[in-house]
Amino acid sequence: MWVEERWIIPGSSSQARSYEDVDLARGRLILDLIESMGVNHAGVDVVIELVDQVHSLRERMRLLMEAIGKQDPAVQNALWQALTPIR
């Protein structure tokens, strides 16, 4: 069911589905949401979508920090000054 809902998307080899650590962590989260917290399926959809958005934003932030780190010191300082309101 979780695969059909696309809450977990396994990789697939030629013979069987394969699950990575991230899939197992998502499974534990889903189980906890449903069994421990009483979240319904619509709620799980929302939580999973938000978790995915947070992970995407973290990756974008990592790439942004990496790009800033490759700039000349003067450019880095200007960027840090411009970003002060959001830090």
CA distance 53 to 73: 31
Domain count, the chain: 1
Q: Is residue 44 domain-resident?
A: yes
Does residue 27 belong to any structural domain of this protein?
A: yes
pLDDT tens, residue by residue, 13-43: 656 677 788 888 999 999 999 999 999 999 9
Q: Which of 80, 86, 5, 85 is nearest to 45 (CA)?
A: 5
pLDDT for 16 equals 65
pTM > 0.85? no
The answer to whether residue 6 sits within a structural domain is no
Could you report the per-residue pLDDT of 48-80, keeping only the tens digit for each?
Answer: 999 999 999 999 999 999 999 999 999 999 999
Q: List the domain range (segments joined by +) for residue 50.
A: 11-83
For residue 68, what are the contacts with CB-CB under 8 A and spacing of at least 6? 76, 79, 80
pLDDT at position 32, please?
96
Q: Examine residue 32 and state whether it is found in any structural domain, yes or no.
A: yes
In a domain, 53, yes or no: yes
Which string of DSSP letters, residue by residue, matches 9-54? --EE-SSSEE--HHHHHHHHHHHIIIIIT---HHHHHHHHHHHHHH
Q: Does 65 reside within a domain? A: yes
